[in-house]
Amino acid sequence: MRFQRPRGTYDRTPDASPLWRQLRQLFDRLCVQYGYAEVDPPIFEHTELFTRAVGEATDLVSKEMYTFPDRKGRSLSLRPEATAGVVRLVLENKLLAAGGLLRLAYWGPMFRYDRPQAGRFRQFVQLGVEALGSASPAMDAEVIELFVGLLREVGLAELRVDLGSVGDACCRPAYEDTLRAFLAGVADRLCPTCQERRQANPLRVFDCKEPGCQALLGEAPRIMDQLCADCQAHRDRLEALLGARGIAFRRDRDVVRGLDYYTRTVFEVNYPALGAQSALGGGGRYDRLVEACGGPATPAVGFSGGLERLVWAIGNEKTLGRADLGVRGAYLVLLSAAAEAPAARIAARLRASIPAEVDYSGRGLKAQLKSANARGARFAILLGEEELAARAVTVKDLDSGEQKALPEENLLELIQAWSAGAPPAARP
Ligand code: HAM
């Protein structure tokens, strides 16, 4: 019996790990620089949280959640997204009590039962931030800047930022009436699902992928054209702030977000070369969500980015070279079984400064050097009978091919000098 991974999932294999690790480090660094503290809610929550926060009528909740009863019959769901869980975590741990701004970050797996295709998985990893406590467009600008900054740092230049607004409690009800009236006029041509949405949650008709509905909706009124003065001012200010920071964006009347909690700002950052699933991330403002989850009225804004798509886009541009993939270290090549114990001792000393791997495979010199190169090591450290007898080692710089024999106790010094660009004199 051979097992296979479930449909829509993937295995991350070792060759991909350096890039993932580097992205994680970059994200962590940006979060420290901007002051976002990491939080880690569980990957499953009470189903009710998502129904309330994300919206019962959304595809995400009604069609794509992995929902199951636990052994006591309580309904739990694997999280399809993280914002709801973060808000729950904030309230449960009374993090708002301290007042002021709360800047939070997360990284972890999400689950959506959707039709798998390139760039769309049933388990995928998101990174994201949520900023609670500010209604200012400057906060929206900061989270967009952070995400775009991350993408630029990994070398993705061809980005398209789509920016829109979904209004607020002041202008949305009137807009929904206009939309309902429009939908009533074309009701007989809508699909059965949109017929239902038309009354309960008319905005969700924009989620429909039926070509017939999509054609009809091209003519539908858009909230962007009916924003109240405050929403319009918010949007104008955000656009000015992004312009001032050199972040180009496209005003988009059609940014459709598959979640109900948004108010005012919505955005998506696309990398068009990826084709159909080109959204590297998206987010927006959700000024009513904290209250809807039982907390005090608290404005908030955030985004989430999809790691698989990010990695895919980086592969597409081949922007990160091998040398960028973290610290390169030493690879200890053993030319005699007697070298195992000394090798472990030397490696332990090296690891205080650089990564060090020991080859215990018992293969010949050539095969071990091949592995050293394949592992991306900078130095091969050769340990044979001769070296052991003299308590010495032979160090080979795998970039330049230079080789030098030296006493074991000088090893670290030499490696440091060598990496700093001062190659030692050749072996006498
Ligand atoms: P979202 O647009 O649903 O937003 O997801 C954000 C990103 O996650 C997408 O742009 C995409 O890169 C990635 N993603 C989504 N679904 C999949 C999938 N099936 N396979 C691979 N990648 C996927 C949210 O999740 C909101 N929580 C964002 C947010 C945070 N809004 C406010 N704060």
The protein residue whose alpha carbon is closest to atom 31 in ligand 1 is: 283
* Nearest C-alpha neighbor of 347 from the set 322, 375, 383, 371: 383
Write the CA distances from 422 to 118, 418, 419, 427, integer angstroms: 47, 5, 7, 15
**Over the stretch 396-425, which tens digit does the pLDDT of each residue have?**
999 999 999 989 888 888 877 777 765 544
For residue 46, tell me if it sits in a domain. yes
Which residue would you say has higher pLDDT here, 422 or 237?
Answer: 237
For residue 230, tell me if it sits in a domain. no
Q: Are 418 and 379 in contact (CB under 8 A)?
A: yes
CATH of the domain at 360: 3.40.50.800
**In the prediction, which pLDDT does 302 show?**
98
Total domains in the fold of the chain: 3
Please tell me whether residues 159 and 177 are part of one structural domain: no
Please tell me whether residues 89 and 219 are part of one structural domain: no
Q: Which atom of ligand 1 is nearest to the CA of 280?
A: 12
Q: Which atom of ligand 1 is nearest to the CA of 119?
A: 21
| Last residue within a domain, chosen from 189, 224, 259 | 224
For residue 9, tell me if it sits in a domain. no
Query: What is the Cα–Cα distance from 163 to 159, expressed in whole angstroms?
Result: 13
**In the prediction, which pLDDT does 364 show?**
95
Question: Cβ contacts of residue 345 below 8 Å, gap of 6+?
Answer: none
Write the CA distances from 354 to 14, 40, 210, 327, 334, integer angstroms: 20, 30, 56, 7, 19
**Over the stretch 257-304, which tens digit does the pLDDT of each residue have?**
889 999 999 999 999 999 888 999 999 999 999 999 999 999 999 999
pTM of the model: 0.88
Say what percent of the chain tops pLDDT 90: 75
Q: Pick from 81, 270, 271 the residue to mutate for probing ligand 1's pocket: most ligand atoms within 8 Å of its CB.
A: 81
Q: Pick from 79, 126, 278, 293 the residue to mutate for probing ligand 1's pocket: most ligand atoms within 8 Å of its CB.
A: 126
**In the prediction, which pLDDT does 423 show?**
52
For residue 264, tell me if it sits in a domain. yes
95 CA to centre of ligand 1 in angstroms = 25
For residue 231, tell me if it sits in a domain. no
Say what the alpha-carbon torsion angle 191, 196, 197, 199 is, to the nearest 10 degrees. Answer: 130
pLDDT band at 428 (very low <50, low <70, confident <90, very high): very low
Please tell me whether residues 24 and 102 are part of one structural domain: yes
Expressed as residue numbers, the domain containing 343 is 330-420
Please tell me whether residues 185 and 256 are part of one structural domain: no
What count of other Cβ atoms lies within 10 Å of the Cβ of residue 357? 16
pLDDT band at 256 (very low <50, low <70, confident <90, very high): confident
Q: Are 27 and 127 in contact (CB under 8 A)?
A: yes
**Over the stretch 318-362, which tens digit does the pLDDT of each residue have?**
655 444 445 689 999 999 999 999 999 999 999 988 889 999 999
List pocket residues of ligand 1, CB cut-off 6 Å. Answer: 81-83, 112, 114, 120-121, 124, 126, 128, 130, 258, 279-284, 286, 302-306, 308-309
Please tell me whether residues 357 and 308 are part of one structural domain: no
Say what the alpha-carbon torsion angle 208, 211, 212, 213 is, to the nearest 10 degrees. Answer: 20
